[in-house]
Structure 1
Amino acid sequence: MNWRRLFAIVLKELRQMRRDRITLAMIVGIPVLQLVLFGYAINLNLRGLETAIADQAGTAGSRALVMDMVATGVIKPVAQARTPQEVMAMLRQGQISMGVVIPADFERRRIDGREAVQVLVDGSDTVVQSAAIQLAQMPIDSARPGAAIVAPRQISVVAFYNPERRSAINIVPGLIGVILTMTMVMFTGVAIVRERERGNMELLMATPVSRSELMIGKVLPYAAIGLVQTTVVLLLGVSLFAVPIRGSVFDVYIAAVLLILANLTMGLLISTKAQSQFQAMQMTFFVFLPSILLSGFMFPFAGMPKVVQWLAELLPLTHFLRLIRGVMLRGAGLFELWTDVLALLAFTVVMMSLAILRFRKRLD
């Protein structure tokens, strides 16, 4: 063992690592990113769940009850409804997570000790369902004049879409998005870099293919692969875990296509920046980690701080999870979830435009 030669090799590796900005960023960036995400953004104690209130009683006692429920911090009223049917419609469209229905004979029910309040909840998210159950078990009363004293047993929770609280029903649709995000970004992230490393870029430069044609031609084959992956997950989810598809299967595939295109264009943008396939995979990791943690797949979206929620809105997986769970679990149509459809389309257009602008048919 020659210690001088060994030291020279170590020094060479350190200098090479210092020149590789992507690797240097990962050395510092990964622990910082995980510490910030898990310490600040991830919160399992849900607060401020978007809720619709249907107060058909309209009495001082019912209004006081709503104020007491809001004071717990679990719910945040964002809409008023006249009937339970309107609350159900908002639940199906994903506008709210919970609904509080107070019947017209609330006062009589309260005095008789019968069920006086119903909490309607989107049970497709088991964490939200657990928060609703905890809310219903709280003794809600008030010393204010006209306040209603309601025992926990007088508040019932009605969970829709997943009354059995099976985690697979919530996880399997989300897995479609996670798998597509991981594979599509990685596949196209190395696409242009691989052409450069294998020497095929010289052949492409000699052809009359435009930048737009090259980029779109790179995307389309992987889009077909993404649809195959979607089909495999759907078949296994339905056959092994009995995951329902309450909406249109056509809408499911349209949502998958939107995510596939968004991820492929993001991968193309990465490939125009990376200098090697290893760098492309490193940059893909920086995209995949926030996507899986902040999109609402692993941790409840409602429990994140507002600033983190705004950042999560920039991730395609966030919008896809709303689409796929809305279609498969709640039976909603894409026209009812049009905001997330437009978000994915806008993301695709922006990423593809940036990738085309950054790409040059040159070796340098």
Structure 2
Amino acid sequence: MRRFVWGRYWSVVKKEIIQIKRDRPSLGIALVMPLMLLFLFGYAVNTDVNDIKMVVWNQSPSTVSRELIDQFVNTRVFQVQAQVSGYEAIEAMLDEGSADVALVIGPDYTRKRDRGERAHVQMLVDGSDPNIARTATSHAQLIVQNQAITLQETRLQKQGMGELESPLALDTRVLFNPNMESIVFNIPGLIGLIMQNVTMILTAFSLVREKERGTMEQLIVTPIRPLELMLGKITPYVGVGLFSFCLVLLVGTNWFGVPVKGSIPLLVTLSILFLVTTLLLGIFISTIARTQLQAMQMAFALILPSVLLSGFMFPRDSMPVVIQWFGGLVPLTYFLEILRGIFLKGAGLDALWRDVVGMGVFCLFILTVAILRFRKKIE
């Protein structure tokens, strides 16, 4: 069995660096696209629901009814678009999308409030977007409950019974993301997703380009071993990917204001491991594909499921167990846990070692499979 020769390895590295310099579009993709995607997704991917468009039909104009409407507006979750005078106008605005919810205050609202009777308020919610519907419903319930408690306390004070004291209280403390901002959660995930997509696509073309240019046969007749070729091919892209990673990391922390609470050297080290893994995955794709179009299609066939299965968009704990197993086959799954652990929690290697081991095992596995695939082609 032939041993690993550093001279042959460095020859492949130099050859790949020359090709990268000549391939300006690919180099531009590696350096410019991560920033473009970070800005695009950083502002577009936002699960915080604010300024829900609300239409109001106030059939009992009075101080108390206007006070109720103000309580909805003051939360900054609801934004009154119009005051209407009928269900037909409400239905028209909900149908055309100019309103998401409708607040209907009945004609007897003020009278019942003054008499101390139970008053009803109706809210119509457009449920086509469940996220907006859930947010609107939960906030409306809290507003009405708070108003009911305030009224109850006022009545008890008038009767000389003192203030109403709740028998149960909940003291809540939110850790790691106190303001519960979605951008703080999304930016680390976006960094991992962008780096996966860009690096995988770049190396997916690597061996395919050799085939299309007719230089693969020249490589095959040389004494270069598959391991030397694989590592030589990905080494320059590790440098390019690491530069792109540092660039988007600076933008994420300074422009979007998401600080890194953990160790930056640990973050960079584990990011290099992830870059190597995704680059090897791209090399594996290039050993299967015959053309660059096929390589692109295969790359996207892996990228799209990884977005869904890795926990980037949806929590993995709510997925069926079988789907969670499939998510364990995606390296991005482990890297997202590492990124969010270091960014948000300041976690160290003692808390992240399972994800590091999982990503390392995947890296070795895909390297072995890619070498076997390339050796089979040589034979």
TM-score, with structure 2 as normaliser = 0.55
Residue aligned with 2:171, SS: strand
How far 1:152 sits from its partner (Å)? 9.5
How far 1:353 sits from its partner (Å)? 0.3
1:194 maps onto 2:248 in alignment: no
Change (3 A) 1:362 1:353: closer
Runs of 4+ aligned residues of structure 1 deviating over 3 Å after TM superposition are 360-364
- Which deviates more, 298-307 or 349-358? 298-307
**Aligned twin of 1:299:** 314
Change (3 A) 1:287 1:220: same
After TM superposition, list the pairs within 5 Å mapping 1:322-337 onto structure 2: 322-337=337-352
1:276 maps onto 2:291 in alignment: yes
Contact in 2 for aligned 1:189/1:281 (Cα 8 Å): yes
After TM superposition, list the pairs within 5 Å mapping 1:111-260 onto structure 2: 154-260=169-275
Residue aligned with 2:202, SS: helix
Residue aligned with 1:354, SS: helix
User: Aligned to 2:329, which of 295, 307, 314?
Assistant: 314
Distance in structure 2 (CA, Å) of the matches to 1:244 and 1:152? 40
- Tell me the amino acid that sits aligned with residue 280 of structure 2: T
Distance in structure 1 (CA, Å) of the matches to 2:168 and 2:182? 26
After TM superposition, list the pairs within 5 Å mapping 1:3-42 onto structure 2: none
Change (3 A) 1:267 1:153: farther
Contact in 2 for aligned 1:201/1:363 (Cα 8 Å): no
How far 1:207 sits from its partner (Å)? 2.2
RMSD value, Cα: 2.5
Distance in structure 2 (CA, Å) of the matches to 1:296 and 1:184? 20
How far 1:335 sits from its partner (Å)? 2.7
Distance in structure 2 (CA, Å) of the matches to 1:274 and 1:324? 31
Residue aligned with 2:172, SS: strand
Distance in structure 1 (CA, Å) of the matches to 2:317 and 2:173? 20
Q: Which has the larger radius of gyration?
A: 2
Distance in structure 1 (CA, Å) of the matches to 2:167 and 2:367? 54
Distance in structure 1 (CA, Å) of the matches to 2:191 and 2:235? 19
How far 1:361 sits from its partner (Å)? 8.2
**Aligned twin of 1:355:** 370
Change (3 A) 1:208 1:310: same
Distance in structure 1 (CA, Å) of the matches to 2:167 and 2:371? 60
Distance in structure 2 (CA, Å) of the matches to 1:308 and 1:224? 34
How far 1:239 sits from its partner (Å)? 1.2
How far 1:330 sits from its partner (Å)? 0.2
Residue by residue over 1:137-189, the C-alpha shift from the partner in whole angstroms, topping out at 9 and shown as x without a partner, is 8x9xxxxxxxxxxx796123211111112222111111111011101111111
Residue by residue over 1:13-63, the C-alpha shift from the partner in whole angstroms, topping out at 9 and shown as x without a partner, is xxxxxxxxxxxxxxxxxxxxxxxxxxxxxxx9xxxxxxxxxxxxxxxxxxx
- Tell me the amino acid that sits aligned with residue 374 of structure 2: F
Distance in structure 1 (CA, Å) of the matches to 2:340 and 2:314? 15
Distance in structure 1 (CA, Å) of the matches to 2:200 and 2:290? 16
Distance in structure 2 (CA, Å) of the matches to 1:248 and 1:292? 26
Distance in structure 1 (CA, Å) of the matches to 2:293 and 2:167? 57
Distance in structure 1 (CA, Å) of the matches to 2:376 and 2:222? 10
How far 1:336 sits from its partner (Å)? 1.8
- Tell me the amino acid that sits aligned with residue 325 of structure 1: R
Distance in structure 2 (CA, Å) of the matches to 1:252 and 1:161? 17
- Tell me the amino acid that sits aligned with residue 360 of structure 2: L
Distance in structure 2 (CA, Å) of the matches to 1:334 and 1:196? 41
TM-score, with structure 1 as normaliser = 0.57
How far 1:261 sits from its partner (Å)? 1.3
How far 1:360 sits from its partner (Å)? 3.7
